[in-house]
A and B are shown apart, each in its own frame.
Chain A
């Protein structure tokens, strides 16, 4: 019997051992698994781009003017110099009969340019043809897909009656609803530039009227070697052989806005970056830079061209620069056949192919296929670079974005337009996280710790039994409720009573100090002297309430007398500080409300668990309650209080709902307590619903999660180390 019992005990002991071990290991494993999972999602951000050569059977016999690849990477189209458009499958078969775009069969194409999906072809007889080429998938009855080319002649412009022969010609269509129309810009052999604009206006009655205008920009003293026209046809840029960059506003009569003689080399190629905000400039020594109009100062309205990004240089003169139609990437190639794909924002050199010689090249619209015509024939490459805009610098450094006056840390992940430059700086989010946490802890720590000291050391026992559970109930209030209350009730209240709040911080301590004097003199009165210790708060409470009420009633007077009737306005005018309704004061209250119960509860436990022998020893030596609490109990409980504070800190760092509702979520970097911020956690919550799976934003958000994980890990590890030292120092027997 006894042996049986022994055996059974042993069995249960073993069972418990295994269950507990499995539980512990499972916890560690699941934490590691979560980390691995989020790291794995964010890791592709940093993977280098890859490419893959695609086999094909396309051969080219005629000299070409245009070569292109469809988005599905199944069709290649070419326009030869005689104007014949052919579409090939990768097997080399023509999928549709060739289309002859030319009218005059003796003419040859001498220059081509592209704006959106329109190719403009300049013939040697001076005519200009504009042809739109696009592809779309078609499904037949069996559901198999084929890609059909859509070829549309957009316009045919006759040769110019006068003027010197043409070298280059550009064409753009304005898609602006208010000012639709087309623009044709020509570069002549005599170095002059002519501009033809057709504006379409619609009268109130729906009559469509076309007006034609033409302008001539006289020959510049340096040879114009490259031209670029913005997609809306309003901005014209020219580069010269003498290394000068010129910019005209041609939305009406041409106005020379800028002359930048910054290049010691002839400019050999120009190209508009997708979105037509930035201009890429290539020079004879192979350098590749992007430029953009920037205001000189806050007051000025004119913009001057400034160099913003410097991309990887080529080994020889840059021959051509083509923008990606997908993002801010640029395809460029040099005389010696070096083909680069660079991303403007991140300044990353994504691809660098040495192809010997490149006569034509093109990216497909999705930016995933590259086709190049080289000495050895047609080269077809499949590209895999899903996150070209991400680099260490764009994530953590200052970047000079389009339409910004200076480099900034900015977070703006999306916008209404396709040609938007995404801004993925995590720095303001880290900043916001730290800022919110600091203000919250400044508010919560003293309240929670002193509250715990009062309850554990001073309060009468039956009061203790009420206060502690009450504070702990606070912890169970859902954070969304706290967020709702402080965002919709506290924030507007504080906005209107800001001066009263600030006065509170002044008047309440003053009232309290005054009370202490009264208390001191009041000792001679029997009623006060014999008051049961622990109930002093009954006397203090009205004093503090009085301070608050006093602040409330005095504030309108103070505001009128000293702050010209409106404190926030006064603050803005005199120290330039703006006041947001959702700001760090609100956050301090809200986050404080949510972390105080945690810190309070753990600290109170730690304080109460200090052996009573220590308290008694101190009291028996004639120490007052405060001396005992301050010199003996607090140091002894410090490891526990510290741990509680760190758990509170961890909660504040990760708290999402309150921040989300009450900060305004503005990713700004400003220490002002009157401004809001955006934290890592709130950022994830705000943006994840609009982040396409596996897109850059999605992965950057996971990176935010990794950082958040890392931050809390560092905080907790650091806290544990410090706590361990404290525990050794104040070890109890």
Chain B
């Protein structure tokens, strides 16, 4: 913890030094300006609305991506017919979520649905991929044991495949939550009327760089907290890995 604080102070020192030496004060705010802006924004209700809007979009998009990613990952890993369709997933996977924004706006318009869709795309692929590879790499011994005890298909998927894959699913979710958060900001920069991405975009146009940095700072902190939240859920849900 002490090391982390020292490193943070060091980085802040470097920032302040760069601000002083490189004469970028017209473009970048000082540390004091950032702190003032932080206090001002936290006393403004609209700032909370922006944070809440982004969180809500991440929550909905990430939840749908988790459900769809896990279900399809298991289905594609378990069933040979679906496994042959993975070609199409692989075709879509390299397309960055930001490239979908124009298409999302055309289909869903300038609203929350477009953002949900972009967040979904950002989180879906890591969750799907982790789940899929976990299912196909499951040791054969578990399959044989399940067959020997004549465990039914549904029970096998629910009690064996799903729980074997759960730690790997969480790995995908940890990557996915980061991607979801990055995607929502990207979506809000272009196609939203609220949220932290919208807040940054608006302040960029108004040349209020102190607010832009505050927006970035809050994005980083919330991203970190979301990642820790997934860690916590993983610890509670997978006690056998302790």
- State yes or no: do A and B come from one complex: no
Interface residues of A (CB under 8 A from B): none
Interface residues of B (CB under 8 A from A): none
